Structure 1
């Protein structure tokens, strides 16, 4: 195994930079205890970029120990205002290097450079800045019990937080987890997705530059079955925050019972988009299209099930298929005209193609797409199935790709029944000109987030999370502060008498 901890890389856009390869533990990049490498490939070409060092259980132990020491030491004794200042420094460093980090994620993940820059990195900067402002505003309460007695509460950090992020938004998901955890005074051991470890490792350099104390932020690359499992089961980890599939979320939840860890799980979805006959049709088509085709369909909140009222079904399908075909500009993620990049890996591409074949076998009508776009890289044509029903596998299961099903509904009751006929409950979109109807449906649809006349809107100040098998807890906004603190009640007897 190479002992190299850094390597100079040339990005597809011609920018050269130094890429860390080691594990970031106790504020330095180190080699793993046991030789192991993970190859990292460019999904636009299918060729390896580089290999990074992979953590074993021994390395997880070292990272957790460093985080525990920092939590009990310098980080815990630092004032909330000083914590906020460090987070502001980190936010500014992210803003300074946003073009570089966006290019790293584009190369590593396959998303377009424009999307990585204008969505992912803009969001990451704002998330760190937002929670930097919260750091010294996390208050308890004072409660009067009697003239000689009172009580007060403290919102205290949980301790060492294990955080496992997905591959679809590598740097943005890092920000969603790390920023609120640090603002609340916790320390972090972050495990990146094995497919997309590069931007998380680069983040370690920014942590160093910002001047964070040793051990506050630790970053490890590794396989979920090894490093992820060790982190989730670790007896000295106080919280696990995970974003990924529902199947893996169940395993994380089971592992977290080892010491009854606090958990936040943001898992899968099969979100509906409901289009009523009084909707502004062209806007409903545009929003519904963006809701499934954005980020190559690799979005947990993708509105992958579209339900359209019978009277406008044919016209909606006609416009939707036309828009899908016209906007299917697949290619080099760094090219300005590209709208859709490749899927993240060969395994993901194969999984999507298998679902498409299953949809055809079940009798769904393939209106457009459904084939691999190029023999180089992992591109797939955006795919639209019509005349689908709730028992079809492509309607019931999360595909996590640019594949959408469009079905009919008769009235509001029928729409709600079909929308809620799922084990998931992450998000839903509603299109109507009748705001009373929109609000009524929003109150009855079983989802943690609802959009009326839009789709997949997100904001760092608004809670993100789902119902049912889509997860536990909320990220973003002040709600994330609750996920990273615990409440202590202190009773004070002023009179010192019984």
Structure 2
């Protein structure tokens, strides 16, 4: 529902379209431990729900600490053999995994869309990026660099070795189930580690399918998947004494819980958490290009994206013109089910709980006097659809401008000068990503340098590449995904010094 006179989004439904998936497409509804799909230690199950129809499409076992212990034992037993493989051998196996994903692109995209409600274009892009991540890591592991061997102390030769950490525990989120799993799996395996992964209980299907389609390529125990809830399965991963690192992509709350649980065993922690990306638009910016970019960067994956362009700070002199162009772009967005056509750009929220969370932000904002330029609330069901929304007249410090809504919502604030823009852009608990829009090269360099975010785009937003790192500052966590920096994160250095005096 929206305010009077505003465009109300309609959900494009699939009419007489075949179902996205059938029973034969589903992965085994079990855990994947030591190279096989196995039953859980209890009979409890978790419903997996299609967010477009609210129908249950699968039931997976609810994992326990005992299931994690079995998986960690398998990973520990497999680790030494996996680590002994030379980089060429691990690289060839990663390429084989990439080939297998490529052969199953269409199936994986349909399965991802059925589980998450994503438009098929988004799911297909996810699979393509997953393939590229494996291929990049397959190449990078054969070309790692380090300090040159040499005499740094007289008559003593120093050699720097790079070793795997051991067994890595991984917790992945519901917004990019396959891609975020691969962002962890590829560098972890490339570096010579083994792993136990807990997918989101809401969106486990493509992770289990990945395990199924690559099961014959990897030695048993190298990759393990245990389903379940964070407070049980995730907590056991974080505290397990035989796990050398816990890596999580998820909420700030989940990150804090994992870091606390990891503290007792002093294991390493890798956290990619939330974001609230400011989009700083100066008077000389190409406003049409900015509005067009935000149509994608603000609403990709229905805004369920930690780097989404969700918080616009636009100079007051061009704010009215920019808002008009942005609203025009948002009005043209097509909301719908994945199988309702290639034009669909925005799908549902992933779950009823998240739908309630997003609409709650919108209701509170309206009560606080924030003006809805377009959208503003739920779209008639079934399904967890929220209308693409632009909120304007947003005051400094407003909840919707500081907290991560994680839905199809862009807020617009105004500023008067560069100092104010930088101060307010940085005045959020997160530090994952930001963008600067200006035709002034000096300003673009200067402002980007002062923004406290792990990635800053200039005249674009949400453009990623496997070669460059992704990760944040402040409440967005620490550690880096993608790039050679991820290989560094999942490795340790050892200095071996030889006395060769004669």
Is the counterpart of residue 233 in structure 1 residue 239 in structure 2? yes
Structure 1: unaligned runs, 5 residues or longer? 1-9
Aligned length: 483
Check conservation: 1:273, 1:430, Cα contact below 8 A. yes
Q: Superposition pairs for residues 272-283 of structure 1, below 5 Å?
A: 272-283=278-289
Q: Residue 75 of structure 1: CA displacement?
A: 1.3
Deviation at 1:136, TM superposition (A): 2.9
Q: Are 2:47 and 2:56, in contact at CA under 8 Å, matched by a contact in 1?
A: yes
Equivalence for 1:194: 201
Distance in 1 separating the partners of 2:198 and 2:204: 9
Other-structure match for 1:105:
112
Name the structure 2 match of 1:4.
Answer: none
After alignment, is 145-154 or 312-321 more displaced? 145-154
Corresponding residue to 2:37 among 14, 22, 29? 29
Counterpart position of 1:448: 454
Deviation, 1:13, is 5.9
Deviations 1:374-433 (A, max 9, x none): 220111101111011222111111110011110111111111011011111111111111
2:56 alignment partner in structure 1 = 48
Deviation (angstroms), 1:158: 0.3
1:176 aligns with 2:183: yes
Q: How does 1:78-477 map to 2 (within 5 A)?
A: 78-117=85-124, 119-140=125-146, 141-146=148-153, 148-210=155-217, 212-327=218-333, 329-334=334-339, 335-477=341-483
The answer on 1:58 being equivalent to 2:71 is no
1:1-16 matches, within 5 Å, as 11-12=19-20, 16=24
- Would the aligned equivalents of 2:191 and 2:491 in 1 still touch at CA under 8 Å? yes
Distance 1:11 1:259 in 2: 47
| TM-score, L = length of structure 2 | 0.94
User: Where does the alignment leave 5 or more consecutive residues of structure 2 unmatched?
Assistant: 1-17
**Hey, what's the Cα distance between the residues in 1 that align with 2:486 and 2:77?**
24
Deviations 1:28-60 (A, max 9, x none): 000011222111010010110010112100000
Q: Secondary structure at the match of 2:197?
A: strand
- Listed one character per residue, the Cα deviations across residues 457-491 of structure 1 (whole Å, up to 9, x for unaligned) are 11111100011111111111010011100010101
Is the Cα contact below 8 Å between 1:11 and 1:103 reproduced in 2? no
Given that 1:23 and 1:54 are in contact with CA atoms closer than 8 Å, whether structure 2 keeps it comes out as no
- The alignment's C-alpha RMSD in Å is 1.4
Task: State the Cα distance separating 1:77 from its structure 2 match.
Answer: 2.4
CA distance in 2, matches of 1:448, 1:145: 34
TM-score, normalised relative to structure 1: 0.95
SS at match of 2:25: strand
Deviation of residue 139 (structure 1)? Answer: 4.8
